[in-house]
Amino acid sequence: MLGKKLQDAFNEQMKNEFYSAYLYMAMAGYFQSEDLPGFASWMRVQALEEMTHGEKFFNFTCETGSRTNLLPIDGPQNNFTKPAEAFEIGLQHEKFVTASINNLMFMAGKDKNYAAQIFLQWFVTEQIEEESSFSLILKKLQRIGEDSRGLLMLDQELGQRAFVPPPAGSSMAA
C-alpha cells in the first residue's frame, strides 16, 4: 500500500501523464491543420505512449491496494506558430515530467517503498528517451529553418514512427 502522500503524488502523476497525451493530441491537430501528416502521426503515437504511462500509474496504484483519484485535467495549449515552437513546448513539458518522476522517486525512497522505486525506475529511464526524442527533432527543425524541402523530408521521417504497446500484464511491465 502506498502512504497517503505518495498515493496523492501518484494520482497527480497519473493526471500529468494523461495531460501529456492531451497536449500531444493538440499538437497533432495543429500539425494536421498545417498539412504535416508525419508530424501529426508522430504526436499521435506520443499521445498513445502517454496514455499507457497514465494507465501504468493507475494499475500500479490499484495493485498496491491504494486508491486512485482521477483529477481534473486542464486544457492544453492548442495554437502554435511553427513546428519548432510545438517541439520546444513538448521538450519543456517532458523536463517538467522528469522532475516530477524524480520527486516521486525521492518520496518513495523516503517512505522506504521499494516496490514503488522499482516501478518508478522504468519511468526514470523512459524520461531520458522522451527528452532526447524531443530535443533531437527540435535540433533538426532548427537546422532546417525556413527550408520547406527539409521540413517535408522530416515530415516523411516522423511519419514512419509506429506505436509499440508495452507488454501485457502487470503495471511493472515495460
Tell whether 53 is covered by a domain. yes
Angle, CA 58 vertex, CA 53 and CA 62 arms, to 5°:
145
Q: Which of 131, 155, 134 is nearest to 144 (CA)?
A: 155
pLDDT of 174 strictly over 70: no
Tell whether 76 is covered by a domain. yes
**Do 104 and 13 contact (CB within 8 A), yes or no?**
yes
**Domains held by the chain: number:** 1
pLDDT of 168 strictly over 70: no
pLDDT of 173 strictly over 70: no
Average pLDDT estimate for 43-56? 98
Average pLDDT estimate for 129-143? 98
Chain mean pLDDT for the chain: 95
Tell whether 97 is covered by a domain. yes
Average pLDDT estimate for 5-29? 98
- Rounded alpha-carbon distances, angstroms, from residue 7 to 45, 64, 86: 28, 10, 32
Please tell me the predicted confidence (pLDDT) of residue 165: 85
Tell whether 116 is covered by a domain. yes
Tell whether 171 is covered by a domain. no
Tell whether 164 is covered by a domain. no
16: CATH: 1.20.1260.10
pLDDT digits 0-9 by tens, 93-102: 999 999 999 9
| pTM of structure | 0.93
Tell whether 173 is covered by a domain. no
Using pLDDT thresholds of 50, 70 and 90, give the confidence band for residue 166: confident
pLDDT of 107 strictly over 70: yes
Q: Which of 136, 152, 126 is nearest to 53 (CA)?
A: 126
Please tell me the predicted confidence (pLDDT) of residue 171: 60
- Domain enclosing residue 15, as ranges: 4-158
